[in-house]
Amino acid sequence: MRGFTLLELVVVVAVITITTVISMPSFLRAMRNYQLNDAAARVAGVLKFTRYEGIRLNVPFATPLSARVIQAGAAPVVTNVFTDSNNNGTVQNTEKQILLSGNVNLVSAATPPNTGGLAAAVGVVALTNVPLANGFIAFDHRGAVAPAAVDVLYVGNLALPNLGYRAIVVLPSGSIEIWTTDSTGNWQQLN
């Protein structure tokens, strides 16, 4: 007598189902954008850590401390970005590192659109693309990039290129910026 009728319950369930179906694409897009931003922030975090370690340890100019990129595998591709604290080119358990795999990963410089537009937005003539196989960015005792260059790494979701890409730009001073673009190549700085 004081409960809900079956018709009322069916209407409530139908409203919940319709609302969920309508909102799911927006939720999935927001989640995938978060994954791209998170991957770019984690790569930038390893680079910043490497820079600060170079300053803290007062590394000699002749042997700067480097953050290395090792990408291996056919499918799924796995990328390891790590602080190479002993400059031997291989990752050890004690070194700060992140693994990227699956859809969100480092991508080649040929993948994002309008990389020339990124260089113009950063204010340089050209960017130095860090190789994905045994690439590195080295920092000296002042925290500057050694040798001086404007290095860049790109993060993207190859399964969904319409989400855009993120670029981690390392300026010669050692400053690290994260840039974003949509699928048409309009670059904007995130931080």
User: How many CB atoms within 10 Å of residue 45?
Assistant: 15
Q: Which two tokens stand for residue 174?
A: 């050692």
Yes or no: say if 131 and 151 are a contact pair by the CB < 8 Å rule. Answer: no
Angle at 178 between CA 173 and CA 181, to 5 degrees: 135
What pLDDT score was predicted for residue 132? 86
- Confidence at residue 91, expressed as pLDDT on a 0 to 100 scale: 87
Q: How much is the pTM?
A: 0.86
Q: What confidence tens digit (pLDDT) does each residue in 41-68 have?
A: 999 999 999 999 999 988 877 778 899 9
pLDDT tens by residue, 6-31:
999 999 999 999 999 999 999 998 99
Which span out of 60-69, 85-94, 160-169 was modeled with the highest average pLDDT?
160-169
pLDDT at 75: 67
Residues 178, 190 contacting (CB under 8 angstroms): yes
Q: What is the pLDDT of residue 172?
A: 95
> CATH 3.20.20.150: does it fit domain 6-189?
no
Predicted confidence band at 103 (pLDDT cuts at 50, 70, 90)? confident
Quick count: other Cβ atoms within 10 Å of Cβ 146?
22
CA-to-CA separations, 168 to 4, 10, 70, 107, in angstroms, rounded: 56, 50, 16, 12
Q: Does 185 have pLDDT greater than 80?
A: yes
C-alpha–C-alpha distance, residues 48 and 25, integer Å = 34
Q: Which amino acid is at 116?
A: G
Residue with tokens 């927001």: 30
Query: Which residues lie across from 23 on neighbouring strands?
Result: none
* Tokens matching residue 73: 């595998």
Within the chain, residue ranges assigned H as helices are 6-56, 115-122
> Residues 108-148: pLDDT tens digits?
999 999 999 999 999 999 999 998 888 899 999 999 998 99
Vertex 146: Cα angle to 89 and 63 (nearest 5): 50
As a whole-number percent, the residues of the chain with pLDDT over 90 amount to: 60
pLDDT at 179 over 90: yes
**Where are the chain's structural domains?**
6-189
